[in-house]
């Protein structure tokens, strides 16, 4: 049996890993046509109920990239100011709101983070990064089932959104005590990202614990 200290250390490690992944994905954006582009490069057109994507104007792209660079350098106060100016000038790009939410959450401003998340979801109610941030906000506030529902909404809309699968793994293992579900989501995350050595260790540990629980259940019968 794991000690309380080892359980707490595992919890802290996994939550720190989740926060780091969230920031990295927000900064790195997504690949399109073989070239790097920030996460706001293709966004849901609010005039199209099907969520059709459109290109970001070059001027907006430049402003977004500058804000991302400041955030990547760790200057969060300046990055927050830049993203706030960005959404005033270009209010229809959910990625900027998500980055604002990440910055505000890191500063302990959950109310401000929620305002930013709601801004992204008002543009695209199925925006996976925004749903993921909302799930993290629910989890931090102890609303575990609300967090689960929000993460599941993200992966239902976008099954290849790896970070929501990761957070479902964390939630199921550490908070809901569902080892089978945790293992499934960590394995899905790993299949999507290719290789995460830290998560691979957790998967191995979960497989052992799931097998042990199954052996115990068979004996008890």
Residue extents of the structural domains in the chain: 1-33+147-215, 38-125
Query: Which two three-digit tokens encode residue 115?
Result: 């305002």
Q: Which CATH number describes the domain made up of 38-125?
A: 1.25.40.10
Helices of type H across the chain: 4-28, 58-72, 76-89, 94-106, 110-123, 128-140, 144-157, 162-170, 179-193, 197-220
**DSSP label at 41?**
S
- Whether 38-125 and 1-33+147-215 are alike in CATH topology: the answer is yes
Report pTM: 0.79
- Mapped onto helix, strand or coil, the DSSP state of residue 30 is strand
Q: Which CATH number describes the domain made up of 1-33+147-215?
A: 1.25.40
Contacts of 128 (CB under 8 A, 6+ apart): 154, 155, 157, 158, 161, 164
CB 38 within 8 A of CB 64: yes
Residue-by-residue pLDDT tens, the chain, 221 positions: 444 444 566 666 666 666 555 555 555 443 222 222 233 333 333 322 334 345 678 888 889 889 988 988 889 999 999 999 999 999 999 999 999 999 999 999 999 999 999 999 999 999 999 999 999 999 999 999 999 999 999 999 999 999 999 999 999 999 999 999 999 999 999 999 988 899 999 999 999 999 998 887 776 66
């Amino acid at each position: 049996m794991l000690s309380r200290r080892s359980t707490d250390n595992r919890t802290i490690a996994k939550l720190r890993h989740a926060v780091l992944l969230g920031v990295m994905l927000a900064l790195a954006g997504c690949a399109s046509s073989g070239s790097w582009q920030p996460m706001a490069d293709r966004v849901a057109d609010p005039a199209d109920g099907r969520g059709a994507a459109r290109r970001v104007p070059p001027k907006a792209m430049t402003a977004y990239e500058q804000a991302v660079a400041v955030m990547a350098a760790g200057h969060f106060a300046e990055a927050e100011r830049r993203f706030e100016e960005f959404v005033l000038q270009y209010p229809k790009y959910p990625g900027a709101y998500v980055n604002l939410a990440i910055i505000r959450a890191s500063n302990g401003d959950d109310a401000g983070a929620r305002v930013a998340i709601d801004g992204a979801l008002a543009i695209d109610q199925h925006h996976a990064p925004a749903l993921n941030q909302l799930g993290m906000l629910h989890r931090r506030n102890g609303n575990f089932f609300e967090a689960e529902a929000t993460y599941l909404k993200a992966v239902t809309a976008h099954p290849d959104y790896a970070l929501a699968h990761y957070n479902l793994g964390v939630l199921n293992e550490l908070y809901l005590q569902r080892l089978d579900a945790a293992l499934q989501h960590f394995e899905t995350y790993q299949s999507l990202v290719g290789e995460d050595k830290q998560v691979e260790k957790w998967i191995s540990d979960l497989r052992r614990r799931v097998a042990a629980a199954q052996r115990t259940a068979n004996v008890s019968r």
